[in-house]
Amino acid sequence: MKCEMCDFSKEIQHKIFETTYWVVNISNNQGYLGRSVVILKRHAGDLIELKPAEWKDLMKLIKKMEAALRKSFGATMFNWTCLMNNAYKKNPPNPHVHLHFIPRYNHKVKFGDIMFEDPEFAHFFNRERKISVSADVEQQIISKIKETWGV
């Protein structure tokens, strides 16, 4: 069965980083600068299916991601979600574990000639806040994050 997350995890042009078990791809929605998706490299449908090594690796990855976004763009704090709703639009559902990483900012950040804002800071993120950046700016964002990754 076709899996969008398996496909997305292989789209290397969007990749920020990968570990043994996870790939981090930049989200196509940069409404929150640095928004990313953390995708399990193998097809498994629920958090309860994670193996201890995958879970342990995720913890390390979270630390690296948060540190990198603080350093690269001065992110203030982070929202994490693990939802998998879309996969249940199909019958049978075919979910694939992934997490959404939404950096939040108590200040504006100008990058690539775009002013990124978070007027809902300290509140639930605004699902209507969508910014599509050019492939060029996307690569600049990835490069900027990678500069600070794991440092």
Contact footprint for a copy of itself (CB under 8 A): 46-48, 50, 52, 55-56, 59, 62-63, 66-67, 76-86, 88-89, 93, 95, 104, 106, 121-124, 127
Min dist CB 79 to a copy of itself, Å, is 5
Do 103 and 116 meet the contact criterion of CB atoms below 8 Å apart? no
Nearer Cβ to a copy of itself, position 11 or 46?
A: 46
Backbone angles phi, psi at 103, to 5 degrees: -65, 140
CA 63 – CA 68 distance, rounded (Å): 9
d(CA 135, CA 86) in angstroms, rounded, equals 25
Q: Least CB distance from residue 17 to a copy of itself, whole Å?
A: 16
Q: Which is nearer to a copy of itself, 80 or 151 (CB)?
A: 80
Is 38 or 138 the residue whose CB approaches a copy of itself more closely?
Answer: 38
Residue with structure tokens 């509140």?
123
